[in-house]
Amino acid sequence: MGDGIFIGASVDGKPQTLELKRANRHGLIAGATGTGKTVTLQGIIEGFSANGVPCFVADVKGDLSGLAMAGSPTAKTHATFAERAKAIGDDSWAYADNPVQFWDLFGEQGHPIRTTISEMGPLLLSRLMDLNDVQEGVLTIAFHVADKGGLLLIDLDDLQAMLTECAGRADELTVTYGNVSKQSIGAIQRSLLQLRTQGAENFFGEPALEMNDFIGVDDKGRGIVNVLAADRLMASPKLYATFLLWLMSELFEHLPE
């Protein structure tokens, strides 16, 4: 393990490294097609893993899955790799596999990722469904009623059933919590339908994922590389946004920094 990750060379041929103590900064890898964006990302991921740092990456094209297997010096591209590495001053590269864990919100190309409606909470759900202030208030009331009744909202069916109950008790709930209109509940249910059409039913359920499932090292001390299959997920933007917002909120809640 070193104190930096080799990422390339400057225009004057000097090797450039990413210092591990600076690795929590935001970064951008940009360039035209074929300039090596994916390879650069792979190199950074391999460097993090080798230094015991778990990673999470979304794989849209499917090429990042190759991190799981070592390359071969007998491959046709070996000479090109070796020549390029020499040109940019990288004398530490070697063919090696990485400890990879595959995830898929649809459960087809990796482990399924799930959380419950209760864990997501009304605030995040309201943002994802583009609810206005009134509708967000009604959704918050639905969560409060469920919590008061000891009802755990697991999936979209549970939430829809809770909204239906609130609609039936609208007059009663209005007296206690403020206006609960059937029109607002209907708007929320239509937004739920949009989430369903994009496959959100696959995301909400049990067993709920724990953050520690993403954060780990193998028996050699290498950080686990978590690869999310995002090829199909890209066609479901609301589901993708739901997952990313949930992931960021969970990381913010559980990590010390």
- pLDDT value, residue 204: 92
Cα(first)–Cα(last) distance of the chain, in Å? 23
Contact partners, residue 190, CB within 8 Å, separation at least 6: none
At 63-76, the pLDDT tens digits run 899 899 888 888 78
At 27-61, the pLDDT tens digits run 899 989 888 889 889 999 999 999 999 999 999 98
Per-residue pLDDT band for 78 (boundaries 50, 70, 90) equals confident
* pLDDT: which is higher, 116 or 2: 116
At 231-242, the pLDDT tens digits run 999 998 888 888
- pLDDT value, residue 163: 96
pTM for the model = 0.82
Q: How far apart are CA 238 and CA 2, in angstroms?
A: 40
Q: Which residues pair with 204 in a beta bridge?
A: 115
DSSP classification of residue 222: P
Q: How far apart are CA 192 and CA 150, in angstroms?
A: 23
- pLDDT value, residue 220: 94
Return the number of other C-beta atoms located less than 10 Å from residue 104's C-beta: 20
Six token digits for residue 117: 């409606």
Residue among 212, 187, 200, 180 nearest 245 (CA): 200
Per-residue pLDDT band for 2 (boundaries 50, 70, 90) equals low
Return the number of other C-beta atoms located less than 10 Å from residue 93's C-beta: 16
- Does the structure show a pLDDT above 60 at 1? no
